[in-house]
Amino acid sequence: MRASIRTSVPVRHAAMLGVGAYRPRLVVDNDQVAGLIDSSDEWIRTRSGIRSRRWASEDETIVEMATAAASAALESSGIDPERIGCVLLATISNLRQTPAAASEVATRLGAVNAGAMDISAACAGFCYGLALAGDIVRGGSAEHVLVIGVERMTDLIDDRDRGTAFLFADGAGAAVVGGSDEPGIGPVVWGSDGSQAELISQDHSWLDWRDQLAKDPSAEAPALRMNGQPVFRWATVEMAKVARRTLEAAGIDVADLDAFIPHQANDRITEALARSLRLPSSVAIARDVVEQGNTSAASVPLAIDALLSSGAARSGDTALLLGFGAGLSFAGQVVVLP
């Protein structure tokens, strides 16, 4: 008779047990970016809502920022690092491609029993990680999972590009996911559309750059480019549909929501989504982009941290998370805040 494989015992529900954030030291206001792109504080505020952003200094590397945010999340959850069974790190700006930053972060944290890998899903990365973490915990492959979103977008952008230079920024946020008596992470609604890949993408590959450098030592490194208007339309129209499907999948009505925490792309996108969803005025809306800029994979956990720290949202609140960006990729889920 064939021996049967022993399986781990799954838990029924998963939830976020704690969150943490790391915001780089350097605060950069609109006047400091406007000069190079022939813009102004007023234009940037009106078109994006952004007043300032944080830029990482040299020592604030992907690994350093991720480790700091993850340490804060571990502390707030009360979970020791040895009890973490998996580290998922979402980023698109780790320019040292191998090894995965997650391995180094796990070791620095003392997460000696953890599998570790990076996820590349741009601004949807944290929500992708959270969905996987919930499944890993419910499936029994790990008791606790650390999900981190971290970016140094300033390494990817051209500071003379009018469409991106004022928008993107740096930082890290993290959450510890573990078993729970009640459902704390709802079903994920996710997807991607590679036919629109060119709307937000690197203008050429690192390989192309290497070839160009052989002929021209002053060849420019790849930079992130964005076609702003179609991205804006997609985010406001299609993501409103995704938000509705996410609420439906979780069996939650807008009236049951305490907080709306979309990717902090641009405050006008957040506004348009909130209007389209007809959120009651009692729902706290994340507006971390105003002070933090668009930090891609870090934006959702940073925004969760900001809402909880300010008291605008509380532990136990029901929140709709919605990540979206390059790919074009997206992921939404209803969660209970830790």
Ligand X SMILES: CC(C)(COP(=O)(O)OP(=O)(O)OC[C@H]1O[C@@H](n2cnc3c(N)ncnc32)[C@H](O)[C@@H]1OP(=O)(O)O)[C@@H](O)C(=O)NCCC(=O)NCCS
> Among the options 123, 127, 144, 266, which is catalytic?
123
163 interacts with ligand X by CB under 6 A: yes
Which residues in the 93-132 window bind ligand X by CB under 6 A?
Answer: 123
- Is 144 catalytic? The answer is no
Is residue 43 close enough to count as binding ligand X by CB under 6 A? Answer: yes
Establish whether the linkage from the previous residue to 156 is cis, with ω within 30° of 0. Answer: no
Residue 232 CB, shortest distance to ligand X, in Å, is 4
Cβ 294 to ligand X shortest distance, Å: 6
Which positions from 48 to 77 touch ligand X by CB under 6 A, shown as an x/- string? Answer: x-----------------------------
Strand partners of residue 201: 225
Q: Considering beta carbons, is residue 250 or 265 the nearer one to ligand X?
A: 265
Is residue 227 part of the annotated active site? The answer reads: no
Closest alpha carbon to 283 in 263, 262, 298: 262
Strands of 115-119's sheet in order across: 13-22, 170-180, 144-152, 86-90, 115-119
Q: How many residues bind ligand X (CB under 6 A)?
A: 19
Closest approach, Cβ 92 to ligand X, in A, equals 11
Residue 325 makes contact with ligand X by CB under 6 A: yes
As measured in angstroms, the least distance from the Cβ of 193 to ligand X is 14
Amino acid at 189: V
Residue spans of beta strands (DSSP E) within the chain? 13-22, 26-29, 52-55, 86-90, 115-119, 144-152, 170-180, 189-192, 200-202, 224-226, 259-262, 284-285, 318-325, 329-336
Binding mask 266-305 for ligand X (x = CB under 6 A): x--x------------------------x-----------
Complex with ligand X: residue 57 or 229, whichever CB lies closer: 229
Q: Which of 30, 94, 263, 266 is catalytic?
A: 263
Output the residue with the shortest Cβ distance to ligand X.
228
Helix (H) and strand (E) counts in the chain: 10, 14
Indicate whether 232 belongs to the interface with ligand X (CB under 6 A): yes
**Helical residues (DSSP H) of 117-217, grouped into ranges:** 125-139, 206-215
Nearest alpha-carbon partner for 173 in 261, 263, 272, 297: 297
Return the range that interacts with ligand X (CB under 6 A); candidates 19-27, 94-102, 159-167, 273-281.
159-167
In this structure, the dihedral spanned by the alpha carbons of residues 121, 91, 11 and 313, taken in order and rounded to 10 degrees, is -100
Residue 265 in contact with ligand X, rule: CB under 6 A: yes
Nearer to ligand X, 264 or 333 (CB): 264
Q: How far is the CB of 116 from ligand X (least distance, A)?
A: 26
Active site residue 113: no
CA dihedral 295, 91, 230, 225 (to 10 degrees): 90
| Helices 125-139 and 299-310, axial angle in degrees (round to 10) | 80
162 scored as a contact of ligand X (CB under 6 A) = yes
DSSP letters for 234-271:
HHHHHHHHHHHHHHHHHT--GGG-SEEEE--S-HHHHH
Query: Which residues, in sequence order, are bridge partners of residue 22?
Result: 172
Of 63-71, 94-102, 126-134, 261-269: span binding ligand X (CB under 6 A):
261-269
Nearer to ligand X, 64 or 161 (CB): 161
Please give the residues from 211 up to 230 whose contact with ligand X meets the rule CB under 6 A: 226, 228-229
Q: What is the largest CA-CA distance in the chain?
A: 75
39 binds ligand X (CB under 6 A): yes
> Which residues have C-beta within 8 Å of that of residue 330, sequence separation ≥ 6?
124, 127, 190, 191, 192, 238, 239, 242, 322, 323, 324
Residues of the shown chain interacting with ligand X in the complex, contacts defined by CB under 6 A: 37, 39, 43, 47-48, 123, 162-163, 166, 226, 228-229, 231-232, 265-266, 269, 294, 325
Catalytic site residues?
Answer: 123, 263, 294
